[in-house]
Amino acid sequence: MPVPPQLVPHPTQLTLLPGRFTFDAATALTIAPGAEGAAELLRTLLRPATGLRLPSRSDGPVVLALDPALTGLGDEGYGLTVGPEGVLLRAARPRGLLAGVQTLRQLLPVQALHDEPVRGVEWSVPCVQITDVPRFSWRGAMLDVARHFRPVSFLRRYVDLLALHKLNVLHLHLTDDQGWRMPVAARPRLTEIGGLPHGGAYTRSELAGLVRHAAERGITVVPEIEMPGHARAVLAAYPELGNRPDRALGVWDRWGVCDTVLGVHDEVLDFCREVLDEVLDVFPSPHVHIGGEECPTAEWHASPVARRRVAEQGLDGPDALHGWFMEQVGRHLLDAGRRPLGWTETGADLPPYFTVMPWRDTAHGRTAARRGHQVVMAPHRSTYLDYPQSASPHEPPGQPGAVVDLRAVHGTDPAPAHWSPAETARVLGTQAQLWTEYVPTAAHAEYLAFPRLCALAETAWTGRRDWAGFQARLRHHRTRLDTLRVPRRLSPTSVQGEESP
Ligand code: ACM
């Protein structure tokens, strides 16, 4: 019996058939209208190792076709039929074709993933019949580029790795107490001051290029600008936006939650809207994240300006300024045609039109869904990739916390079976978080991300909990990650890239 292809994530339905199809120098593509992007992606991905040009021809044996009548495939599903004489990839929408391209790539010998020419390999794929539709529409990875900056070359490679696993959201945590990485023309000091610690800042054209690169791979880049807490880098640049404008602050140079938060005077709201308007220009994503978590309110309790705001708005007290603040800024995003997104700490702390990411307890996801929120599950016990992957003493030093092993990531259902259909329907999906306080190097980031992102992709795409099957497929999939030079281990230098403050 031939061995079935070892695909990650596993397709919804896969039938292995006898025979193989071989790509060679003469293989041409038949590209139906709307399939041009998928054809270009296939060429881009296969050319470095295989040298295949895959020209377009009206009777090419590899057919890429869009058929809007295939509504059962949704936005991202696809059908793939490989026979000895040809390949037929079909989808209702372009993103489905992009997902199918990644499957074709995994069906090829693993050497097809090399970034340099490989000789002496037959570029053949097994004959199969695949129908594949994701369970969840949000299959994401959050990367914190505020604590440790990563250049855009790293992000483009990260996007490529996400796309291989059919993950479709890169959530970029662009600002925090310890750094500000988002260029804002109207506010240059944000990146002049806030971009200094641990790296630098992006340019607008770098980010626009990243957004394009990601879209060509079916990935949406979702920006996050933190407020009203996690804002010390803003206040180092513009102290007048704080609760004590007389006080000169540096960018926060320690890890952990900082008491300093934005003020609640009109200038602050104008500032947030001004920054977000530039963010919206660069990032076309339907959702825009405005943080919202870990917001100590001691400064508001002490501030006459904040207490005046409480009285004027008829709020219960300074603690209620958090929800009020998120509402002011969330409305601005709604008015601009976007959906505000925030971290939730209870499931009930944000206006109901926010899409929320419950990061503390899984139960908060259900609370939020009952309140009518759309939910992206991000519980720390199973999706925080900065936590160690095992209790082994050989794990590199990192974020102190519970172990999040592969099985925990794989085994956590974003919408558990005992939730009601209405609650489940509000779960858009799930994502993994890579906070980088303790992750100073690119190698360390990739080491922490993989293979746990493979498990998240499996959970979010197939919705199946076949742990034994996943482990077996992962053994082969590891050779793909090796070929892509994703580190299985870390050398001492890749851990100690830089001193943590
Ligand atoms: C978080 O862990 N600060 C959402």
**DSSP secondary structure code for residue 384 in this structure:** B
Q: Structure tokens of 404? A: 């999040």
**494: in domain:** no
How far does residue 358's CA lie from ligand 1's centre (Å)? 9
Alpha carbons 430 and 24: distance in angstroms, whole number = 39
276 & 338 share domain? yes
Whether the Cβ atoms of residue 76 and residue 102 lie closer than 8 Å to each other: no
How far does residue 455's CA lie from ligand 1's centre (Å)? 21
Q: Which residue's alpha carbon is at the smallest distance from atom 2 of ligand 1?
A: 359
User: What is the number of helices (H) and of strands (E) in the chain?
Assistant: 18, 16
165 & 218 share domain? yes
280 & 385 share domain? yes
Predicted pLDDT at 500: 39
**429: in domain:** yes
243 & 183 share domain? yes
Q: State whether the beta carbon of 343 lies less than 6 angstroms from ligand 1.
A: yes
Query: What residues act catalytically?
Result: 176, 230, 294
Whether the Cβ atoms of residue 358 and residue 365 lie closer than 8 Å to each other: yes
Q: State whether the beta carbon of 359 lies less than 6 angstroms from ligand 1.
A: yes
Q: Among 175, 255, 257, 343, name the best residue to mutate to test ligand 1's pocket (greatest count of ligand atoms within 8 A of Cβ).
A: 343
Closest CA to 452 of 391, 390, 397: 390
How far does residue 62's CA lie from ligand 1's centre (Å)? 45
Task: CATH number of the domain at 109, please.
Answer: 3.30.379.10
116 & 160 share domain? no
What's phi and psi for 427, nearest 5 deg? -85, 110
Q: Structure tokens of 483? A: 């070929």
**80: in domain:** yes
285 & 348 share domain? yes
**DSSP secondary structure code for residue 112 in this structure:** G
Please count the residues of the chain. Answer: 501
Domain count, the chain: 2
Q: State whether the beta carbon of 360 lies less than 6 angstroms from ligand 1.
A: no
**225: in domain:** yes
Q: Which atom of ligand 1 is nearest to the CA of 294?
A: 3
Within 8 A by CB and 6+ apart from 314, the residues are: none
**498: in domain:** no
**497: in domain:** no
Q: Among 178, 359, 385, 434, name the best residue to mutate to test ligand 1's pocket (greatest count of ligand atoms within 8 A of Cβ).
A: 359
209 & 248 share domain? yes
Condensed to tens digits (0 to 9), the pLDDT of residues 354-408 reads 999 999 999 999 999 999 999 999 999 999 999 999 988 888 877 777 899 999 9
Predicted pLDDT at 402: 87
Predicted pLDDT at 392: 87
Q: Structure tokens of 380? A: 């720390």
How far does residue 378's CA lie from ligand 1's centre (Å)? 9
45 & 153 share domain? no
Which residues span the domain enclosing 202?
138-486
How far does residue 357's CA lie from ligand 1's centre (Å)? 10
* Assessment of whether the complete model's pTM goes beyond 0.85: yes
Q: State whether the beta carbon of 293 lies less than 6 angstroms from ligand 1.
A: yes
**DSSP secondary structure code for residue 111 in this structure:** G
Q: Which atom of ligand 1 is nearest to the CA of 359?
A: 4
Strand (E) or helix (H) holding 381: helix 380-383
Predicted pLDDT at 196: 86
SS3 percent helix, strand, coil of the chain, rounded to 5, is: 40, 20, 45
Q: State whether the beta carbon of 381 lies less than 6 angstroms from ligand 1.
A: no
What's phi and psi for 357, nearest 5 deg? -115, 100
Tell how far CA 7 is from the center of its chain. Answer: 21
How far does residue 293's CA lie from ligand 1's centre (Å)? 7
Domain finish residue from 132, 153, 182: 132
**215: in domain:** yes
Domain finish residue from 84, 99, 132: 132
73 & 153 share domain? no
Predicted pLDDT at 1: 61
pLDDT under 50: residue ranges of the chain: 498-501
Predicted pLDDT at 198: 80
147 & 75 share domain? no
Domain finish residue from 69, 104, 132: 132
Q: State whether the beta carbon of 387 lies less than 6 angstroms from ligand 1.
A: no
Alpha carbons 147 and 176: distance in angstroms, whole number = 7
Alpha carbons 285 and 239: distance in angstroms, whole number = 30
Q: Which atom of ligand 1 is nearest to the CA of 433?
A: 2
Alpha carbons 426 and 407: distance in angstroms, whole number = 25
Whether the Cβ atoms of residue 344 and residue 362 lie closer than 8 Å to each other: no
Query: Cα dist. 107→36, 81, 85, 110, 127 in Å?
Result: 21, 12, 16, 8, 10
- SS3 for 221? strand
Closest CA to 41 of 274, 217, 243: 217
| 23 bridge partner residues | 123
Predicted pLDDT at 395: 85
Q: State whether the beta carbon of 40 lies less than 6 angstroms from ligand 1.
A: no
426 & 285 share domain? yes
Task: CATH number of the domain at 330, please.
Answer: 3.20.20.80
126 & 238 share domain? no
Closest CA to 346 of 305, 307, 295: 295
**74: in domain:** yes
